[in-house]
């Protein structure tokens, strides 16, 4: 759309929205015009929510998850198993795993994956701090819960090597297999192969899920 906007205020707001991932200028214009119809209080609250998010956000100094206090509620909880640390790429992954209610340990948020193509090296993400946590003792297991992609695999392998000096720490990774609800016919052969190699004893509990 090579449209001239009647106002630079509108132009600025449209450009701001269009800078967000997955939002083109057409959608951005729709969002801006929507906000114009809302009450001034609501729109000012919107602007402030965005500004404050970036200005005032803090990260847990232990696991680097988003937090309102110096140490996040998960790291601070006596109910969590501090000897098991689950390594994830970002804050969203913490939420996804918390949703499963299957992990009772702590987290370590890397803030990205090693990706030479994008110029992201091991120094750019929270790997040193992970090694420090392990070196400090008290960690028995590190669960690598990274994406099953080239970048995830690279990062897994790098962390695995960095943690080699601590053989008492068990390093595990998420099981790869057929997704629940997926048909065998449509499962890719790599995943299917892995799911045969890593087959598990059949129990009624699993069958009913």
Cα–Cα distance measured from residue 17 to residue 11, given in angstroms and rounded to the nearest whole number: 10
Quote the least distance from Cβ 118 to a copy of itself, whole Å: 13
| 140 CB burial (10 A radius; 0-12, 13-18, 19+) | middle
Between 52 and 61, name the residue whose CB sits nearer to a copy of itself. Answer: 52
Q: Which residue has the tokens 């946590």?
A: 133
Quote the least distance from Cβ 179 to a copy of itself, whole Å: 18
Instruction: Give 25-46 as a DSSP string.
Output: HHHHHHHHHHHHHS-HHHHHHH
Between 52 and 104, name the residue whose CB sits nearer to a copy of itself. Answer: 52
141-144/105-109 β-pairing: unpaired
What token pair was written down for 100?
Answer: 């499963």
| 60 CB burial (10 A radius; 0-12, 13-18, 19+) | buried
Quote the least distance from Cβ 155 to a copy of itself, whole Å: 18
Q: Are 81 and 105 in contact (CB under 8 A)?
A: yes
Q: Interface residues with a copy of itself (CB under 8 A)?
A: 1-10, 12-13, 15-16, 19-23, 27, 29-36, 38, 40, 42-58, 65-68, 72-73, 90-92, 94-95, 98-99
Between 66 and 131, name the residue whose CB sits nearer to a copy of itself. Answer: 66
Between 75 and 127, name the residue whose CB sits nearer to a copy of itself. Answer: 75
Between 58 and 170, name the residue whose CB sits nearer to a copy of itself. Answer: 58
Quote the least distance from Cβ 106 to a copy of itself, whole Å: 13
Quote the least distance from Cβ 49 to a copy of itself, whole Å: 4
Cα–Cα distance measured from residue 99 to residue 116, given in angstroms and rounded to the nearest whole number: 31
Between 111 and 177, name the residue whose CB sits nearer to a copy of itself. Answer: 111
Q: Which residue has the tokens 């992201």?
A: 120
Quote the least distance from Cβ 8 to a copy of itself, whole Å: 7
Q: Are 162 and 147 in contact (CB under 8 A)?
A: no
């Amino acid at each position: 759309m090579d449209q001239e906007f009647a106002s630079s205020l509108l132009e600025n707001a449209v450009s701001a929205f269009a800078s967000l991932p997955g939002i083109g200028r057409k959608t951005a214009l729709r969002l801006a015009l929507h906000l114009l119809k809302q009450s001034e209080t609501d729109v000012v609250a919107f602007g402030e929510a965005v500004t404050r998010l970036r200005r005032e956000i803090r990260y847990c100094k232990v696991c680097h998850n988003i937090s309102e206090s110096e140490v996040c509620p998960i790291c601070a909880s006596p109910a969590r198993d501090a000897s098991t640390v689950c390594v994830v790429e970002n804050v969203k992954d913490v939420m996804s795993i918390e949703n499963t209610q299957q992990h009772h340990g702590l987290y370590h948020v890397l803030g990205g994956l090693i990706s030479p193509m994008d110029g992201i090296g091991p120094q750019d993400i929270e790997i040193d701090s992970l090694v420090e946590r392990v070196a400090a003792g008290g960690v028995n297991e590190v669960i690598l819960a990274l994406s099953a992609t080239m970048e995830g695999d690279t990062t897994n392998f790098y962390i695995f090597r960095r943690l080699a000096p601590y053989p008492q720490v068990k390093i595990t990774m998420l099981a790869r297999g057929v997704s629940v609800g997926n048909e065998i016919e449509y499962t890719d052969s790599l995943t299917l192969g892995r799911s045969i190699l890593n087959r598990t004893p059949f129990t009624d509990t699993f069958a009913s899920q």
